[in-house]
Amino acid sequence: MGKAYNWMCAGIAGSGSMLYGYDAAVIAGTLAQPGFLEYFNPSATVLGAVGSVYFAGLLIGLLFVSALADRFGRKRTIQFGAAVGLIGAVFQTAAHEIGLFFTGRVLAGIASGIMLTTVNVYQAEIAPPDLRGTMVAFQIVTLNLAGALASWVGFACNHSTNLSFQWRFPIGLQCLPAILLIIGCFFIPFSPRWLITKDRHAEAQVILKRLHDSHEDSTFWEKEYIQISAQLEVEAKEKETASWTHMLTNWSELRRLLVAIAALTSVQTNGAQTIQVYQSVFYAGLGFSTTQVLLMVGVFAICNTCGGVTNLILIDRVGRRKLFLSGLVILSVMLGVFAACSERYTSTGTKSWGKAGVGFVMVYIYFFGATYASSPYAYAAEILPTKNRANGVAIALFVANSVTLTFTQVTPIALDKIAWKFNIVFIACNLFFLPIVYFFFPETKGLSLEEVNGAFGERVEVEFKDITENEVEKVAVVQLEDTHEVKV
C-alpha cells in the first residue's frame, strides 16, 4: 500500500477541512448577496455577529474536542464533527429568521473547532516524517479548494432571479462534503499512536506496516513502532502522576504549548482571516458593484488555492521556519501597499487606486497561502508530545480563535470608523511575531514526532540509530503472530 494508502487517508481526513474552508468562504459571498440582505436586512452589528457567532461556536468546539479525541479516537471525533457540521448547514439553509441562522452558524463553528483540532492531529500522527508537512498542506489545499468552490457558486447564484436561492443554495451545498466525510471515515485507520495509548498494540503494528510498507528501509515501520512505544510508555507514566494541566506548570511542556499558541495566533492576526470574511465589504468600500465584488471573491479564492499548492511543494523542502519568517515580512509589505492604495482612493476617489488595492490583495493572499496557510497547523500539531497533542492543539486554537473572534466582531465597526488604517493593526501584529519565530521556533522538517523532542533540547527515548536488528525481528515476529486476530 505505502504512499498511496498514506494519501488516501490524508485525502479522506483532509476533506474535513472542506467543511471549514467552504463555510468560511461561503459567508463572504452571502453577506454580499442581495437576497440575503433583503431577507434579513442586517445592521452592521448583525453583520459582525454573523461572523463572530461562528467563531464563538468554534471556541465551544475547542473546549471539549480533546476529550473526545483522546477517549474515542481521532477518526471517530472527525465523524462526529462532520455530523455536527451537517446539522449546522441544514439550519442555515432552512433559516427563516435570523435566530435559526445564528444557531446554524454556531453549530458550523463547533464543527470547525472539532475539525481544526482533530484533522491536524490525525494527519500528523499517520504521516511519514518526510511527508508530514506536505500532507497537512494538502489538507489546507482541500480547504482552499472548498473555499474557491463556495466563492464561485456564490458568484453564479448571484445571477439567479430567485433571491432566496441566491444565498440558500451555496450554504446548503456544504451538506455534501459532510456526508461524504462521515462515510469516508469508515475506510481510514485509527491513529496508531492513539491505539498504542489504549494498549491496542497489534492493531497499531498492522496500521504502521500499511502506512510504511513502501519505505526504502523495509524495517522502518518496526523501528517507528519501537520508538513510539518507548516514548509513549514514558509519557503514560508521567500522566499517572499528573493531569493534563501539568503542561501549564512544567516549563518544558509549557514552552512547546506557548510556541504552538504563537504559531496559530499569528495566522489569525496577519489579516488573511479577517480579509477573507469581510472582503466583500473591503471591495464595496473601494467602489465596486455587487457582481464585481462576488467576482473578486472568486479570484481571491483561486489565488489562495494556488498559494496553498505552492506551500504543499515547499513545506518539506524549505522547512517551517523559513516559510514563517518570509511570510511575516512579505505579508506586512503587501498590507502596507494595500493600505496606501486604499488611502489614495479615499482621498481622491480615483478608481485606479481601488483597482490597484484589489490587485495587491490578490498578491497578498497568494503569498499567505504559499508561506503561512498550512505551516502553523503542521507545526503546532508536530511540536506537542502525544500525551498533550489533542489538548495542546485545542488550547492553542482556542487562544488563536479568541483573537479572531475579537477581530471579526470589531472589523465592520473599524472599517466604518478608521477604514484603511485598520491594516496597520495587522502589520503591527506581523512585526510582533517576527522575532518570536526567529528566536523560539526550532526547525522540525524531516523529524519523526518523537524526534521533535530533540529539537526542543529534550530526551528522545529511542533513536532510530540505536535500534538493533534483534529488536526489529521481535516486533516482526509478534506482529505476524497477531495479524490474524486484528481487524482495522
Q: Tell me, what's the pLDDT at 396?
A: 94
Tell me the domains of the chain and their CATH numbers. Answer: 2-188+242-457 (1.20.1250.20)
- Cβ-Cβ contacts under 8 Å for 29 (sequence gap 6 or more): 150, 151, 153, 154, 155, 158, 170, 280, 294, 297
Q: Are 82 and 23 in contact (CB under 8 A)?
A: no
Contact 124, 378 (CB under 8 A): yes
Q: Where are the alpha helices (DSSP H) in 95-131?
A: 98-126
3-state helix, strand, coil split of the chain in percent (to 5) is 85, 0, 15
d(CA 169, CA 173): 6
Q: What is the DSSP letter of 446?
A: T
Q: What is d(CA 439, CA 136) in angstroms, rounded to the nearest whole number?
A: 24
DSSP for 270-322?
SSHHHHHHHHHHHHHHTT--HHHHHHHHHHHHHHHHHHHHHHHHHHHHH-HHH
- DSSP for residue 250: S
Q: Which of 377, 375, 423 is nearest to 401 (CA)?
A: 377
The pLDDT score that the predictor gives to residue 292 is: 86
Backbone angles phi, psi at 282, to 5 degrees: -55, -50
One-character DSSP codes across 162-202 = -HHHHHHHHHHTTHHHHHHHHHHGGGSPPPHHHHHHTT-HH
Q: Pick from 212, 196, 36, 225: which is nearest to 131 by CA?
A: 212
State CA 480 to chain mean position distance.
Answer: 38
Cβ burial of 479 (10 Å; 0-12, 13-18, 19+) is buried
Q: Considering only CA atoms, which of 276, 273, 252 is closest in space to residue 264?
A: 273
Phi, psi of 14 (to 5 degrees): -65, -20
Q: Give the burial class of 189: count Cβ atoms within 10 A of its Cβ; 0-12 exposed, 13-18 middle, 19 or more buried.
A: buried
Residue-level pLDDT at 482: 52
Cell numbers at residue 51, please? Answer: 461572523
CA distance 228 to 78: 23
Both ends of the chain: CA-CA distance in Å?
Answer: 15
Name which of 24, 23, 164 is nearest 96 in CA terms. 164
Which of 309, 387, 398, 26 lies closest to 176, judged by CA?
A: 26
**SS3 of residue 208 by DSSP:** helix
The segments of the chain whose pLDDT lies below 70 read 1-2, 242, 476-488
CA distance linking residue 40 with residue 21, whole number of Å: 24
Residue with cell 508521567: 238
Rounded Cα distance between 424 and 429, Å, is 9
What φ, ψ does residue 198 adopt, rounded to 5°?
-100, 10
**Exposure of 421 by Cβ count < 10 A (0-12 exposed, 13-18 middle, 19+ buried)?**
middle
For 441-471, b/e burial (b = at least 16 CB within 10 A) is: bbebbebbbbbbbebeeeebbbebeebeeeb
Q: How far apart are CA 140 and CA 138, in angstroms?
A: 5
Contact 122, 75 (CB under 8 A): yes
pLDDT of residue 484: 47
